[in-house]
């Protein structure tokens, strides 16, 4: 029997979609997490509607530093073409309100709900009793009680420990070899690989801000205009053209 040849998947795009925000390709090295049959490796960490509509990640992790609101969840659900993991509080917002927002998230098609690190165990239990989608719990330090959260109904851990993320993931993996782990990958391919090698199954990645994306596009437009001008003036810059015109005068 001849060995199977692995081929690269064909890629199709258009000029209008050429500026899509692309997650780092190194994320493909992780195993991914299957949620209801959908394999999730990369999660883009944003609530920016325009970025959510123009990216190549496997899913959106929509968590933000305000009280979760149904209008935000609905707005994201209306535009996203990829699965959404919706933030439902757990810090200031707790108890029945978090459970109700979780139910609304499920009704809007969210693939999972995400609770913050301070979420009380009773709130996790209420959410677990209310919805039929996975609960993702954010882990920010190695001192958090993982087993207690898993026993309450947490299905997936979301490790966000800053520079200590890889270390926290490795400690969790030692004691919980089978628990699904999402983790922040950091700013470089090297930091992402460190987190994957530590045991993360999926990576959340923060895209450039809208302002940074605009800066890049403006730089592109400026360079294009400069090149056009120089082509029309025998390779001379505008300063060189002005100097030549002064000499001729």
Q: What is the pLDDT of residue 91?
A: 85
Nearest alpha-carbon partner for 25 in 242, 221, 209, 189: 189
17 within some domain: no
pLDDT category of residue 234 using cuts at 50, 70 and 90: confident
For the chain, what is the domain count?
2
Task: State what percent of residues in the chain have pLDDT above 90.
Answer: 77
Q: What is the pLDDT of residue 2?
A: 64
Q: Say yes or no: 193 and 90 in one domain.
A: yes
Task: Report the distance separating Cα 84 and Cα 227, nearest Å.
Answer: 42
Q: Say yes or no: 228 and 203 in one domain.
A: no
Q: What is the pLDDT of residue 198?
A: 98
Q: Say yes or no: 182 and 216 in one domain.
A: no
20 within some domain: no
Q: Say yes or no: 132 and 238 in one domain.
A: no
Q: Say yes or no: 239 and 150 in one domain.
A: no
Q: Say yes or no: 200 and 178 in one domain.
A: yes
4 within some domain: no
19 within some domain: no
7 within some domain: no
pLDDT category of residue 150 using cuts at 50, 70 and 90: very high
Alpha-carbon torsion angle 144, 147, 149, 153, nearest 10: 160
Q: What share of the chain is helix, strand, coil (3-state, %, to 5)?
A: 45, 15, 40
Nearest alpha-carbon partner for 137 in 245, 61, 220, 58: 61
The pLDDT tens digits for 21-43 are 999 999 999 999 999 999 999 99
Q: Which two tokens stand for residue 19?
A: 């500026």
Q: List Cβ neighbours of 45 (8 Å cut-off, separation of 6 or more).
A: 61, 63, 184, 204, 205, 206, 207
Cβ pair 80, 72 in contact under 8 A:
no
Least confident of 80-94, 129-143, 174-188, 231-245: 231-245
Q: Say yes or no: 166 and 55 in one domain.
A: yes
The pLDDT tens digits for 111-122 are 999 999 999 999
Q: Say yes or no: 78 and 117 in one domain.
A: yes
Q: What is the mean pLDDT of residues 232-248?
A: 85
Q: What is the pLDDT of residue 16?
A: 75
Q: Say yes or no: 131 and 224 in one domain.
A: no
Residue 237 phi, psi (nearest 5): -80, 170
- From residue 24, alpha-carbon distances to 10, 21, 73, 104, 242 in Å are 18, 10, 26, 32, 44
pLDDT category of residue 3 using cuts at 50, 70 and 90: low
Q: What is the mean pLDDT of residues 51-61?
A: 96
Question: Any idea what the CATH number is for the domain that residue 127 is in?
Answer: 3.20.20.60
Q: List Cβ neighbours of 116 (8 Å cut-off, separation of 6 or more).
A: 63, 87, 89, 90, 91, 138
15 within some domain: no
Give residue 103's domain range: 25-207
Whether 51 has a pLDDT exceeding 90, the answer reads yes
3 within some domain: no
Q: What is the pLDDT of residue 6?
A: 65
Q: Say yes or no: 148 and 233 in one domain.
A: no
159 within some domain: yes
The pLDDT tens digits for 68-92 are 999 999 999 999 999 999 999 988 8
Q: Say yes or no: 38 and 156 in one domain.
A: yes
Q: Say yes or no: 222 and 201 in one domain.
A: no
């Amino acid at each position: 029997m001849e060995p199977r040849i692995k081929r690269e998947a064909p890629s199709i795009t258009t000029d209008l979609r050429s500026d899509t925000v692309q997650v780092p390709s190194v994320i493909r090295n992780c195993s991914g997490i299957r949620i209801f049959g959908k394999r999730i490796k990369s999660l883009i960490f944003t609530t920016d509607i325009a970025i959510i509509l123009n990216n190549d990640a496997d899913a959106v992790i929509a968590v933000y530093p305000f009280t979760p609101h149904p209008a935000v969840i609905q707005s994201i659900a209306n535009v996203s073409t990829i699965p959404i993991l919706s933030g439902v509080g757990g810090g200031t917002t707790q108890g029945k309100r978090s459970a109700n927002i979780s139910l609304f998230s499920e009704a809007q098609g969210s693939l999972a709900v995400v609770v913050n690190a301070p979420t009380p165990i009773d709130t996790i239990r209420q959410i677990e009793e209310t919805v039929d989608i996975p609960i993702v719990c954010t882990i920010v330090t190695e001192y958090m009680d993982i087993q207690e959260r898993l026993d309450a109904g947490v299905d997936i851990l979301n490790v966000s420990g800053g520079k200590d993320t890889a270390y926290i993931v490795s400690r969790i993996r030692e004691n919980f070899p089978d628990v699904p782990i999402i983790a922040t990958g950091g700013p470089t391919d090297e930091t992402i690989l460190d987190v994957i090698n530590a045991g993360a199954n999926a990576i959340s990645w923060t895209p450039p801000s809208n302002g940074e994306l605009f800066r890049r596009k403006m730089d592109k437009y400026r360079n294009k205009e400069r090149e056009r001008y120089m082509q029309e003036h025998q390779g001379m810059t505008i300063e060189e053209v002005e100097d030549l015109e002064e000499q001729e005068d």
